[in-house]
Chains A and B, each alone.
Chain A
Amino acid sequence: MSDYTPTEVMTVSAARALSNDDVCFVGIGAPSAACNLARLTHAPDITLIYESGTIGTRPDVLPLSIGDGELAETSLTTVAVPEIFRYWLQGGRITVGFLGAAQMDRYGNINTTVIGPYGAPAVRLPGGGGAPEIASSCGRVFITMRHSPRALVERVDFVTSLGFGVTGTERAALGIATRGPALAITDLCVMEPDPETNELVVTSLHPGATRAGVAEATGWDVRFAAALGETAPPTEPELATLRDLHRRTNAAHAVSP
């Protein structure tokens, strides 16, 4: 099983960043696949929390929405939505928030609200949902998204969820105690914040990705770490587990109950 897609490398790399000890607030889509892959491979005891109030959920198929019945049925407990945001997220009990993004800048600020001006948007995106407070209240934030110059941009059209701020300093200036974006995983590479400037720099290239390819696909003048690593390719068990998960999920979502 040596053939794999860039999206599979992205999901596998994101899953590897999670550990058994994490309490993870899971965004829908790519984060959900990565978090459940981690649970089904190297981190069987990870605690996954969805904003619908399901704590310690262990779904057999990926949910289409954050509120599929599967999430409640397989949870340790399911609490009300005000409780999940007030006691568990705001209360500081989440170690990792896992988010997707439509746009992200070099300081990990995320836009999921609008493309173009807010009052006259070219594209009205779904909005923030849980993300604005996930970004500020979780111990660390991981971001996963496809790499393109329209997605990784010089300046986001709207700051839906704070990274380090538009100049990289605003997060600290606001007195936010949590760390912020610690890892961005795309389908080409892994990026981590520079400890001095908070700018996301490429620390690992996925198999087959090149410096030139990453630079071309990034909307800012992207920098590479001095000790640039190469992401280990997905293993056979990782790929088999991920593909099996997607197969079960697609079968479950294709038919009306």
Chain B
Amino acid sequence: MPDFVSLPDAVAATVRDGHTVALEGFTHLIPFAAGHEIIRQGRRDLTLIRMTPDLIYDQMIGAGCARRVVFSWGGNPGVGSLHRFRDAVENGWPHPIEIEEHSHAAMANAWAAGAAGLPFASFRGYLGTDLPSVNPRIATVTCPFTGEELAAVPAHRPDVSIIHAQRADRAGNVLIEGIVGVQKEAVLAAEVAVVTVEEIVDDLAAPSMNSTVLPGWAIDTIVAAPGGSWPSYTHGYSHRDNAYYKAWDEISRDRARFQQWLAESVMAAT
């Protein structure tokens, strides 16, 4: 059974400087509260894995947490750039970061391989693109049965994965509904898995035996963090705050404005 602890205690106990960390959630269920706690605790030199860095890694990169980012689409969806991510890549502010860039198909396969305990993923991808020429962790493998050459990428095996979900019961079983993304794979691929939830309930009330449920024994730590996915969302509990995603463009564009936001909205908050 997982530990039930506070968010500060969960981050302090699991995330170390230099760790490879994934805070996943495909637009939906992004664990923003956990990301802000990592910023407050001043973690540094993290390798951050996410398919879409989204605002959460833009904030963590701008706050100086990241040494390396492994990703496949680094924009503000429907709005434009992630300005803190761009400033780090283009200008090395607040310090230079390394990037390991993939496609979504590669990242999704790398998560599935990690969950399956495999060392790498193979798939039909990257055909004719320039990405293999700039990312040495994209290779090829030949099918031993047909001779077809396939793309190969290393499995994701983070030290810590953190996801947000709808709810957990008191045994730590977790229900995930809506766009499930790679939440299950991120948890199962990680050495240590932390799940933040909207609420902890007596009865999980999963609507079907086919519902996406992660058994408590596959999770290390559960944290009650109501609203912890904002400005992303938790299906059935909140809606995506698209107006905030648009507003982030202005907040993040300028370094001083971002630092003011960081001081007021993250560092001063608890």
Contact = CB atoms under 8 A, between A and B. Distances in A.
Contacts of B123: 85-86, 90, 133
A79 B210 CA distance: 12
B53 to A, nearest CB: 9
B77 A65 contact: yes
B154 to A, nearest CB: 16
Given A131-B103, A174-B128, A252-B242, A67 B28 contact: yes
B267 to A, nearest CB: 23
A85 B108 contact: yes
Interface residues of B, number: 57
B86 A64 contact: no
B137 to A, nearest CB: 15
Interface stretch (A9-17, A143-151, A155-163, A216-224): A155-163
B72 A71 contact: no
A176 B244 CA distance: 42
Contacts of B18: none
Contacts of A118: 130, 134
Contacts of B51: 81
Interface stretch (B4-12, B163-171, B175-183, B213-221): B175-183
Interface residues of A, number: 59
B101 to A, nearest CB: 6
A257 B76 CA distance: 19
Interface of A: 28-29, 51-54, 63-69, 71-72, 78-82, 84-86, 89-90, 113, 118-119, 121-133, 136-137, 158-162, 165, 170-171, 174, 176, 252-257
Given A69-B28, A72-B178, 5 more contacts: A86-B105, A89-B105, A132-B105, A137-B124, A158-B130
Interface of B: 26-28, 51-52, 71-75, 77-79, 81-82, 85-86, 89-90, 101-105, 108-109, 111-112, 123-131, 134, 178-182, 184-185, 212, 233, 235, 238-246
